[in-house]
Structure 1
Amino acid sequence: MTFLTEIDFNTCLKHFIEVSNSINDTWELVTFEEQVRHKERKQYLVKKNVPRLLEKSQKNTTNDTIFQCEEDLETVKDDVLVAKSSDSIPCTFEYHIVYSHSYAVPVLYFNACKADGQLLSLDEVWKMIPKHYQARLQHEQWTFITQQEHPIIGRPFFTLHPCHTADLMKSVFADNKQTGSYLVSWLSSVGPVVGLDLPLAFAALCGE
Structure 2
Amino acid sequence: MSQSTIPRSVFNQNIIEIYEKSIKLGDTWQLIKVNEDVYYLEKKDQKFINNEILTLIFHIIYSESYNVPVLYLNMFKSNGSIAKYNDIYSFFNLNNLKNEERDSDLILTQQEHPILFKPFYYMHPCKTSQWMSATKIGENDNFNFTLKWLSFVFSALRIPLDIKYAL
TM over 0.5: yes
The Cα of 1:178 is off from its aligned counterpart by 1.4
Contact 1:130/1:193 (<8 A) preserved: no
How many angstroms apart in 2 are the aligned matches of 1:133 and 1:44? 31
Alignment of 1:140-179 (within 5 A): 140=103, 144-175=107-138, 176-179=140-143
Per mean C-alpha deviation after superposition, the further-off stretch among 123-132 and 167-176 is: 123-132
TM-score (norm 1): 0.70
Q: Over the residues paired in the alignment, what is the CA RMSD in angstroms?
A: 2.4
Q: Does 1:124 align with 2:87?
A: yes
Letter in 2 for 1:44: Y
SS state of the match for residue 174, structure 1? coil
How many angstroms apart in 2 are the aligned matches of 1:2 and 1:88? 43
Contact 1:173/1:185 (<8 A) preserved: no
The Cα of 1:92 is off from its aligned counterpart by 1.2
More helix by share: 1
Q: For residue 44 of structure 1, what is the aligned residue in structure 2?
A: 40
**Deviations 1:141-193, CA, capped at 9 Å, x for gaps:** 7x8011011111111100000000001111224233315x2122111111133
Letter in 1 for 2:46: P
Q: For residue 156 of structure 2, what is the aligned residue in structure 1?
A: 193
1:31 aligns with one of 22, 30, 33: 33
Q: For residue 103 of structure 1, what is the aligned residue in structure 2?
A: 66
**Deviations 1:92-113, CA, capped at 9 Å, x for gaps:** 1000000001001000000001
Distance 1:133 1:187, change over 3 A: farther
**Deviations 1:72-121, CA, capped at 9 Å, x for gaps:** xxxxxxxxxxxxxxx45331100000000100100000000111212100
Q: For residue 57 of structure 1, what is the aligned residue in structure 2?
A: none
Contact 1:109/1:150 (<8 A) preserved: yes
SS state of the match for residue 153, structure 2? helix
SS state of the match for residue 30, structure 1? strand
**What is the percent sequence identity of the aligned residues?**
31
Q: Which runs of 5+ in 1 are unaligned?
A: 34-39, 55-86
Q: Kindly name which structure, 1 or 2, has the bigger radius of gyration based on alpha carbons.
A: 1
Q: Which runs of 5+ in 2 are unaligned?
A: none
User: How many residue pairs align between the two structures?
Assistant: 164
Q: For residue 12 of structure 1, what is the aligned residue in structure 2?
A: 14
